[in-house]
A = this chain, B = another copy of it.
Amino acid sequence: MPLGFRGEGITYTARFCGVETPFYFNIKETIKTYIVHGDFDFVVSPLMFSGHSPSKDRDPEVHNLDRRLYPYAETDINVAWAQWAKAGIVVAKICPWLDLDSEDENVRTDSEAILKQQIEWASYLSLKACLLPTPKGNSCANYARCVNQILKGPKNNMQLLLRIPIGMSDNDYSPRSNASVDSWQTWNSFRVLCDHHNLLTIALDINMNIRSCYQESPASRELTKTLVRGACRCCNIRYRCSKRHPLRPYLDQVSNVYKQRNPLSERECRELDIRDFLQLPLRPFRNFSSALSYEGQATDSLKYTEYERAICKALLDRVPNEKASFIVTVLVVVGAGRGSLVFASLKAAEITGRKLKVYAVEKNPQTVIALDEVIKANNWVDIVFIVTSDVRYWNAPERADILVSDLLGSFGDNELSPESLDGAQRFLEKDGISIPSSYTSFLQPLTASKSYQIAKARKYILHSESACVVKLYNVARLAPSQQVFTFTHPKWFDKESNERYKKLQFEIPKDTGSAMVHGFAGYFNMTLYKDVCLATEPSTKKPDLFSWFPMFFPLRMPIRVDRGSILEVHFWRCVDSRKVGFLFLFLHFMLLIWIALCNLKQVWYEWCVTSPSSSPIHNCNGRSCWMDL
């Protein structure tokens, strides 16, 4: 039963608890003891008798010795392997004494042979995962090479968990050298050598108090975070096996920890499946948004309450009380969508007692159908006017006092808000107000293995350098976020460029360890009006705001940073016209279709790292991701 089980049909983050058992010839009995009577979810068990070391016994004269040992495991005939494998009940534990980087060539080649033999056996039994022994000492290149060959072998779909201890070592792994081994370095080196393969994961081995380990080795912070999230598979409760499952109290204790945690909110449940997954951002001038995405946004009540507050303040500033009865404020909603901002404006007018005339400008003709209906139903036809047009080309009948828009993407300006509002500024009064009045994007370096692996695996993310929208979850934030680009509306100078360049220096804290930077999280902070703000930047974000997930700017190759070092990053917002070539499509019967698009104006970001080491400049000329104007 998963830890903290809350009943069938209830969504929660399922965590499982297993037991590490010694080798028994009768695995059926082991499973009965632990799973059936003990209520554990799985057992981590050696599949072969490991007391035997071929290198010790081998006759040096007999060089053609077949190194396979009989009998080395329980037969697969009498046991219901297929069933157990499917349920993930058995995780194979590979011999812990294996040393694939031993200086002794016999030990090394024996270890290679045994590793291969045991993995093949586990694979034959269709097991879902194997627990690999901890690398011995500082060197793990040959071990990684063997594991890498298995991972990339044909048909492999078994997960390999590399056992990495936090803190002190155990009798299972006796490092060759007395020099201190940094767990993170070992794990990092191993995964880099295996080219960040997605079936290679870490199994944290906690044999000590987590708190003291935290103090002892700040480098393992990333590890412990991973642990607390989901790596409970390796929660080893060592105890002798018995039929009266004496481990049950321990299991209950762990289970209680999870039961006491708050259940996931409805929103968190919905977001479970998209955690760390990459979604391409909206391209407002290229595709129209779907009804679903409007629906998602409309339910964010905090966002519209803040808009309403901002509009109230703007109306009060614009029209003094004594003139409230006869001055009509002209308000233009840019990108009205299904009307949330129109309703917020009307409500603000009602609260403040100001007279309002609203132009709801929206270029997506699908969405205004719903808006039109609501307006008619509420008898607002005299004060709300729907305009189906691109705001940049709309010929406004009168000047606006207030512009209200909700065009920000996850990285603030990435959905072309600056360019849209530049277009709208034409018909804004000289002393008119734009809500939002300004916004600033933020950037933060991340360790994000999971998102990085997804980016690497997806072929359509060209060059693994497309910025994506991600519900960041399995990440470590390596330094506080910093400001990147700021845009203010209305612009003081009409022709001011929307191009930007910013150099950022992140200091990796001295009390943290080394880490891999897989990319950067992008957020924003927007000032709607005066002190009314909305932010996705973690330090200022209000927990109820959920309209935006962070942006993720990946690095093609992760960069390693050490504690106290400076991570220097450059970000550009480029605006240019791009000459798009000819596209020819030959179809059947010599039907020839060609499309020629020339001088398409586009906006894109480029980024690179220059310290501690230089990366190539990403997304040159917007080759992987861009926005069309």
Partner-B contacts on A (CB < 8 A): 63-64, 108-109, 139, 141-142, 144-145, 148-149, 152-154, 188-189, 192-195, 493-497, 501, 503, 557, 560, 570, 572, 574, 579, 581, 606, 608, 610, 613-617, 620-621, 623
Is the Cβ of B570 less than 8 Å from the Cβ of A606? no
- Neighbouring B residues of A570 by C-beta, 8 Å: 141-142, 145
How many chain copies? 2
**Shortest beta-carbon distance from A155 to chain B in Å:** 8
Which of A193, A495, A497 has its CB near the most chain B CB atoms (within 10 A)? A193
Known: A192-B615, A572-B145, A608-B145. A64 touches B495 (CB 8 A): yes
* Distance between Cα atoms of A198 and B303 in the complex (Å): 50
Distance in angstroms between the alpha carbons of A496 and B501 in the assembled complex: 62
- The answer to whether B145 touches A621 (Cβ under 8 A) is no
Q: Which residues of chain B are near A108, meaning CB under 8 Å? A: 501
Contacts of A496 in B (CB 8 A): 63
CB < 8 Å neighbour of A617 from B144, B493, B557: B144
B-side contacts of A613, CB under 8 Å = 192, 560
A-B pairs, top 4 by smallest CB distance, nearest first, are A195-B616, A192-B614, A64-B495, A141-B570
Q: Which residue of B lies closest to A581 (CB)?
A: B154
B192 in contact with A495 (CB, 8 Å)? no
Give me 7 A-to-B residue pairs in the complex whose CB atoms sit less than 8 angstroms apart, sorted by A's number.
A63-B493, A63-B495, A108-B501, A109-B497, A142-B572, A153-B621, A557-B557
Q: Distance in Å from the Cβ of A422 to the closest Cβ of chain B?
A: 14
Residues of B within 8 A of A144 (CB): 608, 617
Residues of B within 8 A of A493 (CB): 63
Contacts of A501 in B (CB 8 A): 108, 142
Query: Complex Cα distance A557/B497, Å?
Result: 37
Whole-angstrom distance between the alpha carbons of A620 and B144 in the complex? 11
Contacts of A193 in B (CB 8 A): 608, 610, 614-617
Q: What CA separation (Å) do A94 and B574 show in the bound complex?
A: 23
- Please determine whether A616 and B192 come into contact, CB atoms closer than 8 angstroms: yes
Report whether A152 and B572 are in contact in the complex, using a CB–CB cutoff of 8 Å.
no
Chain B residues whose C-beta falls within 8 Å of the C-beta of A153 in the assembled complex: 621
Q: Which residues does chain B contribute within 8 Å of A615, judged by CB atoms?
A: 192-193
**Nearest neighbor of A100 in chain B, beta-carbon distance:** B501
| A623 pairs with B152, CB closer than 8 A | yes
Q: How far is the CB of A81 from chain B (nearest CB, A)?
A: 23
Residues of B within 8 A of A495 (CB): 63-64
Closest residue of B by beta carbon distance from A580: B154
Do B152 and A620 have beta carbons less than 8 Å apart?
yes
Q: Which residues of B contact A109 (CB under 8 A)?
A: 497
Residue of B nearest to A185 (CB): B614
Chain B residues, CB < 8 A from A148? 617, 620
Q: Indicate whether A616 sits within 8 Å of B63 (C-beta atoms), given known contacts A145-B570, A621-B149.
A: no
